[in-house]
Amino acid sequence: MRIKNICCIGAGYVGGPTMAVIAQKCPEINVTVVDINEERIEAWNNEDVENIPIYEPGLSDVVKETRDRNLFFSTDVDAAINEADMIFISVNTPTKTYGIGKGMAADLKFIELCARQIARVSKNDKIVVEKSTLPVRTAEALKNILDNTGNGVSYQILSNPEFLAEGTAIDDLMNPDRVLIGGDIDTIEGKEAVEALVDIYAHWVPRERLLTTNVWSSELSKLTANAFLAQRVSSINAMSELCEKTGADVNDVAKAVGMDTRIGVKFLKSSVGFGGSCFQKDILNLVYISKSLGLNEVADYWEQVILMNDHQKRRFAANMVKTLFNTVSGKKIALLGWAFKKDTNDTRESAAIYVADYLLNEQAEIVVYDPKVKMEQIYADLDSLETRSEQENRSLVSVVNDAYEATKGSHAVAVLTEWDEFKQLDWKNIYKDMLKPAFVFDGRRLLVKQTMEEIGFEFYAIGS
């Protein structure tokens, strides 16, 4: 089975970069990325590739090379579905905010809408690929909808979870540790569909890194991978608090344990807490699935990873208030960084949102600077918590375009995202323009304690 036309529904952080790389590596395949959000599609088609809606190192070059050659962005979802041999579903699957499973289960509303649309439009056989992270056994539901509402055409459902991390998405896509493809491998048609997707990735990924499994293993592996990664961050963050109380340094501990090859060095960086669209959502999902199967101990075990992360964010903010003589009321506090990690403009579940909210409850005045996040996004993030009125958020929080303006006249600075440029700042100058004593709270272990103390700062770093 040779694939000539691909359609991807959802032009977000996952769909956009993934399809751009497939288009680059497979010039003979036409790839159309569709989205119901017209503004987003317009931005993807922006003449200036630097203005595409997602910031990701290396992405604009790939888009420049492929756009209008064999990569297209469109709002005509029906047409793209109709023409495609293979359809990737890459729409968002947020945590439910209502009804059964509220705050835990994944909301599959958009996935179901996609399935119904595919069923309505398709006139020939299709391979449907789940790219979005989904609860185990979603493929079954998808197949059920497609088979029962379709025009009698046949569908193969594959699970091909995304392991790209934001900020390194292009590199992760070009050189993946592995690509996982789950399908109905017990049937000939299922095997053929899996092979069709394997052939696409084999354009640039060595065959031994292309893993094929049944659909359920693939779906569950994705949740497991994210749960394990998040668990490592919560584990090291738990140690950071212990380090602060005992005089140990979490960086030394992380290095010492990480050099044990059985443990490994990656994902042991203590921080103000993990964020991003996936970790929390996927673990909540795992917790929900476990609970619904009556596996309460399994659910409690994984829920603790989230509870530890919430504690870390709260503890960081509480420590700021305590250190600032138990009050931040009316004090100007500069937050450096709003994105959930460096090299992305994504702010979903960013620790900065929760730290800011805590400080605002203590009546602080906040000034934010982030190199890539826009003012409207910062206000939207705070408004979405519904802790106070939109008007109050705008009067208590200001957003500025450089770090010096943010820190000038402030009582304290908190580093919340590990942007490289924060290391290069003229901290002597910043010190000069701050109120004294001048406090810096490093939530990312980005700055050197000794240097900061020599300048004169009262310096606090997580885990030391």
Interface contacts to ligand UDX, rule CB under 6 A: 9-15, 35-37, 40, 90-93, 110, 113-114, 131-133, 162-166, 226, 229, 233, 267-269, 271, 274-279, 340-341
Helical ranges in 260-388 per DSSP H: 279-292, 296-323, 351-361, 375-385
Question: What are the structure tokens assigned to 302, written together?
Answer: 């994984």
Main-chain dihedrals φ then ψ at residue 384, nearest 5 degrees: -65, -20
Q: Are 431 and 398 in contact (CB under 8 A)?
A: no
Catalytic one of 26, 114, 243, 278: 278
Q: How far apart are CA 328 and CA 320, in angstroms?
A: 8
Cβ 236 to ligand UDX shortest distance, Å: 7
Catalytic one of 130, 162, 166, 219: 162
Cβ 274 to ligand UDX shortest distance, Å: 3
Q: Are 202 and 172 in contact (CB under 8 A)?
A: no
Please say if 278 is a catalytic residue.
yes
Question: What are the structure tokens assigned to 288, written together?
Answer: 């929900």
Q: Are 226 and 190 in contact (CB under 8 A)?
A: no
The tally of CA atoms less than 13 A away on the side-chain side of residue 3 is 30
Main-chain dihedrals φ then ψ at residue 12, nearest 5 degrees: -100, -155
What Rg do the C-alpha atoms of the chain give, in angstroms? 24
- Give residue for tokens 């596996």: 295
First-last CA distance in the chain: 57
Closest-CB residue for ligand UDX? 12
Other C-beta atoms lying within 10 Å of the C-beta of residue 384: 9
Please say if 4 is a catalytic residue.
no
Cβ 165 to ligand UDX shortest distance, Å: 4
Question: What are the structure tokens assigned to 149, written together?
Answer: 């509402």
Q: Pick the closest to residue 1 from 156, 132, 153, 142 (CA basis).
A: 156
Nearer to ligand UDX among residue 1 and residue 306 (C-beta): 306
The tally of CA atoms less than 13 A away on the side-chain side of residue 147 is 9
Q: Pick the closest to residue 219 from 140, 126, 104 (CA basis).
A: 140
Cβ 331 to ligand UDX shortest distance, Å: 27
Active-site residue numbers?
Answer: 162, 222, 278
